[in-house]
A and B are shown apart, each in its own frame.
Chain A
Amino acid sequence: MAALTPPATGAVPTAPGPKSVRRRARPRVWRGAVGLIAALYFLGPMVFSVIFTVKVPGEGFTLGSYTGILGADGFWDSLRLTLELAGATIALTLLLLVPAMIAVRLTAPRLRILLEVLCSLPLVVPAVALTAGIGSVLQWGPDDFANTPLFDTFNSIQNPDFPVVLLLAYVLMSLPLAYRTLDAGLRALDLATLVEAARNCGASWPRTVLRVVLPNLRAALLNTAFLTLALVLGEYTVASILGFQPFAVWIVSVGGSNAQLSVAVSVLSLVLTWVLLLLLAAAGRGRSHRSPRTSRGGAATAPVTVTVTVTVQENS
């Protein structure tokens, strides 16, 4: 028994000397400096953007730029189109990827690498190249299929009210982000055991996915939705080249005639993005605090914020 008692001398932790205090203080200084630089880098442009929108030379402080947004020509149409495209892109991406990823994990794990490569391909195809390809197809398609039912299809997918071709392009572009996020969520689960346990409890395949798999992928699904939303909100190149006018294109177009309004819309879109992020994060937190697995997946939310902010800023 006595042998288990820690020795009275030599084992008492000594108080940190001045040298160790100095050593500990140094990282704190560096942390502060890095934090300050990061804050300046991210907040600086935003602060100056806000100042630019509310301060008019000769008039002083005014909220005219912001009040003018709501009445600006094309604002509501472009915003509606963007949100519709975002919703449809999220739905289609998840509908394509979730069943495919679950099926591959459960029945053909060897195909995982193939699925990963396929989903990552859009990363190596620049948006301009993708758009050039789509543009070429849209150009020769109607000529080649003039006397076939596909002719109407080519026309309908370019309907400016809801351009399906843009939706398809966005789904392609969101695949790499969505794949990584969902893959991280699936990796955190013992999917095979959970599915077998659910099946053993009498759940059919659809109910197994709906009642067991999806609730445990909640954080990953929300993160995928958020990343896709951010991508669609900030995407400019494809929409602009194909001649459609979602929100990002409208911001740029309005910037030519009214710079203050354009920047005000950019600031507003950042706020909108943050609000949506907070809503999604709150929705995720509703259950994630109850389960460590889901909260593990949810940890991806924080870094996402920065990515979205930059994306929207760059594109607007």
Chain B
Amino acid sequence: MTTTTVSTAAAVRGAAGATVEFRGLHRRFGATVALDGLDLTAHPGELLALLGPSGCGKTTALRMLAGFEHPDAGDVLVDGEDITAVPAHRRGAGMVFQSYSLFPHLTAVENVAFGLRMRGRSKAARTGRAGELLDLVGLSALADRFPHQMSGGQQQRVALARALALEPRVLLLDEPLSALDAKVRLSLREEIRRLQQDLGITTLFVTHDQEEALSMADRVAVLRAGRLEQVAAPAELYARPATVFVAEFVGTTSRVPAVRAADGRVDVLGLRLPVEGELPADGELDALVRPEAVRVTADPKGPGIVVAASFLGAVTRITLRLADGTEVKADVPTEAAAGLPVGASAALTLPERPVLVDRRSSV
């Protein structure tokens, strides 16, 4: 199966991945600022995920690259060529949409061949290539089915094949998995990643699902209110978030009271720790702590009381309440969690690593 797929991928491989650049993109919809000076570059052949909460501008940026939106200011470049004014049908970008976007009156193979038909390719040429692409996504047996005769996952695979048919310079994925059930989403996620790597096509992938972004992307760009917060490889983004927003948006964090020390470090849970990034000049402080960083041991004299436990498989996520009411989440091995029932007292500690610190919110 793998051999077939790889050889088919080699057969359908088009142009090498392109460099995509967003330069100072601004876009406003009425009073809403969708993009506020976005600067971002996707390298050739990489899968760059655009991650952020609803309304952060990730889809707007993708649609600008596709040619469906036009920036109020700024440029969109592909391989150094400014395509800001190029109409959508001449951009050479393949796109898979969030909603099922197959043409209902065409079969799977006709859908895939549609773009080639628009390019004036002969019927034999377009049927042949559409067949190859359907083979690539494992749907050659469903070539003559209409969209309503296929499942959501199958439709999105056909949409992927259609997007690849014109050998696009860039592949754009606008939350293509969000309408699918969890199991299909997982398998299609892996399939998209495998195809993208086989074809070496530069891909921009919009998602609000951090797990999806972290598991698929070479790099993840986190957006907030139309601005880029951080762009980094998933592991770096998780381990060394550049901002408090990234730390809190990607993964789970607990806010633990921290006290400013004279040497520029902070005291957290009885430990003096260095600060990651900048230390706020004034105000009360919180340290942002990942649950897997917190070590918990059963201790009748410990400062925390277990108030909740969620079984997550290999680990159990325990919520501890400190004397001042602060709640701290900690991941402990499930076997060890048996010794930390709800109501038990426990001691907490952190590794001696720099922590991200933020001004305590008044709420």
Contact = CB atoms under 8 A, between A and B. Distances in A.
B166 A201 contact: yes
A197 interface: yes
B114 A201 contact: yes
| Residue of A190, A202, A218 contacting most chain B CB atoms (<10 Å) | A202
A201 B105 contact: no
Contact of A292 (B68, B91, B148): B148
Contact of B105 (A197, A200, A204, A216): A216
B103 A204 contact: no
B47 interface: no
Nearest to A288: B105
B89 A216 contact: no
B183 interface: no
A287 B67 CA distance: 32
Contacts of B165: 201
| Residue of A190, A193, A197, A290 contacting most chain B CB atoms (<10 Å) | A197
Contact of B103 (A197, A287, A292): A197
B343 interface: no
A291 B106 CA distance: 9
B114 A293 contact: no
A196 B97 contact: yes
A200 B118 contact: no
Given A196-B88, A216-B103, A292-B148, A203 B118 contact: yes
B151 interface: no
A16 B112 CA distance: 53
Contacts of B115: 201-202
A200 B90 contact: no
A201 B104 contact: no
Interface string A18-53: 000000000000000000000000000000000000
Interface in B230-250: none
Interface in A151-202: 189-190, 193-194, 196-202
Contact count band on B: 20 to 34
A196 B118 contact: no
B104 A197 contact: no
A81 interface: no
A202 B120 CA distance: 11
Interface in B50-72: 66-68
Contact of A294 (B68, B91, B97, B105): B105
Contacts of B67: 199
Contact of B118 (A201, A287, A291, A294): A201
A197 B166 contact: no
Contacts of B41: none
A240 to B, nearest CB: 42
B93 interface: yes
B162 interface: yes
Given A290-B105, A291-B148, A294-B105, A197 B119 contact: no
A152 B16 CA distance: 65
A216 B162 contact: no
A197 B68 contact: no
A199 B68 contact: yes
A193 B94 CA distance: 14
B334 to A, nearest CB: 24
A196 B165 CA distance: 16
Interface of B: 66-68, 87-91, 93-95, 97, 99, 101-105, 114-115, 118-119, 146-148, 159, 162-163, 165-166
Given A196-B66, A202-B115, A291-B146, 11 more contacts: A190-B99, A197-B95, A199-B67, A200-B163, A203-B89, A203-B118, A204-B89, A211-B118, A215-B105, A291-B104, A294-B105
Which 3 residue pairs of A and B lie closest in terms of their CB atoms, listed nearest first? Answer: A201-B115, A197-B101, A202-B118
Interface of A: 189-190, 193-194, 196-204, 207, 211-212, 215-216, 218, 287, 290-294
